[in-house]
Structure 1
Amino acid sequence: MICYAGIDLGGTKSEAQLFDASWRLVDRQRLATPDTYEALVDVVSGQVKWSLQRAGKAIPVGVGAPGMIDTRGHAFTANLPAMGKPLPADIKASAGHQVAYINDCRALALSEAVFGVGQGHSTVMSLIIGTGVGGGVAYDGHLRSGPSSCGGEFGHIAAAVASVQENGLSLYRCGCGRIGCVETYLAGPGLVRMARDLTGKVMTTQEIGAKKNQSGPARDAWSVWLDITANLLISLIHSVDPDVIALGGGLSKISGVADDLKNHVSKKQLPGFGLPDIVLAAGGDASGARGAALAAAQETGYV
């Protein structure tokens, strides 16, 4: 029996996933993400309708997507053709069904807290490092929000001055409009650009990951990336003090990244103090959709 639905909406695909009462994945539908707003609303609302049809009844439906929703209900997102548009409201109106709309990185944090590496822990943080950088924090299996709704926008924290100066880095303008956000160094495109500027060599993230333990430009670039990422993590640890940090996104697939970060973070922690466990997210492709579905179930009182 289908009881919950989550839609993982990204820049290239929109995947609806259906879950039974035990949160097992029982069906999915993947469609390409359109490049116009009207078509985007049609695709997502169509997946909501498909989910309800497959369930044969009204069920909680959540949408996890990149970006944020401002106080007017408008989308602030660089990866969807929806900037400034009332996307959640338009999906609801088109589908004729209530949806819970949350940031995809927060959805992963919630999923990992309840179903993944955060089980049994009180405070679970996600750090997603892919084409962008973001995250979220789940407390006792629930997400919280404040007046800004910006919690988890870790990629737009300013990079540590020490890392920038000591490594002779340039300052880059971020997609958010500010200069020096950590995302401009840590995200996949940022790592490629930083490696080029540091070493004079153009390398893909895959090449850097494959050669990060060999003497040469890849190791040099990876060392700087680890330094900046570890400084970000220390700032987050000192602010939030999570029990677990779950890593996700394309760069989390680089072999040994969790251990590399543990080693660098431990060197930056204050002497005599502990650290959270830094591990890869366990949910894989189901984490974002399952987290969105769970958020919808919590919002509507189903769980």
Structure 2
Amino acid sequence: MSAHDITDPDAQQQLHRRLAKFNATRLSPGHPSPQWQDDLVREHAHRVREGEFLEALRAQVQPVASACAGNAAHMVNWFESLAQTGPGQHHPFFDWLESEASLAQMRWFLTQEAAGEAGFEDLLAYAQVKLPPQPKLECARNFWDEMGHGKQGAMHGQMLEQMVRELDLHPAIDTTVWESLALANTMVGLATTRRYGYHAIGALGVVELTAPGRVKKVAAGMRRLGLGGHASAYFDLHGALDVSHARAWMREVIHPLVQSDPVCGQFIAEGALMRLVCGARCFERYTHELRGEQGGAQASNGWMGSNMPNRIEATAC
């Protein structure tokens, strides 16, 4: 099985289920074991598969991202433009969720999203290690928001879990489409691997930038189906809060990092595009599963294959 073959869904399903189970284990607190050396051998094998997948995904976005190193202000402008021109943006699937999806279809979507949630606060904690003071402080402010300012019920992860319980959803790795698992595996791989430290910054920042428009439509669709209140609170919160997070991320994290080290701009751009490509593949798969059709070229911006389309080249720095 090759991590490079994104055209083989069976291989991708097998790969990402294995990686998702590996990530669930390696991110959880464990106990000392006399088999720790054997555990390291198994971990190495998983990390190699993870690296092969990430490098294949990275190779797909490099031609565009390579043009983004340089002036910090120019980089920020390009990054902000991803909210309009990036892969998967303005996907019609979310208009459909808002206005047409049935309760069963909405529940399926929410189950997939919950199963593929990597835990933004934990990813943020990994990504901020050894950053310079200004970006680190912004990560800390963002983390404190994710932690509900010290109140358990207001923690964003707890709000998601509350929605899962209230709607009686049953997210599980073995019942989740590989595209959703791949998105989570990408985010975990970038955040926990220091050679991808700048990639993680790009991936986390683009989540803050692009999420508000989508989650507002999800929340509206939930209310239409009678799932408002506590059930939709997680999406309502991110529809508003992530707007200010994105502005601060551009100003306090990306701009100073690129200004200090222009080369890192390419890696930040790669990480952002890797996250958006994974999201676009999810939206395509969700559309196919729930509507029995492909999302269309507008939805994916042509990023579903291995070649760089002309439209995307126009968005390069």
Q: What TM-score, normalized by structure 2, do the two folds share?
A: 0.32
Structure with the higher fraction of residues in helix conformation:
2
Structure with the higher fraction of residues in strand conformation:
1
Q: Which has the higher contact order (CA 8 A, sep 6+)?
A: 2
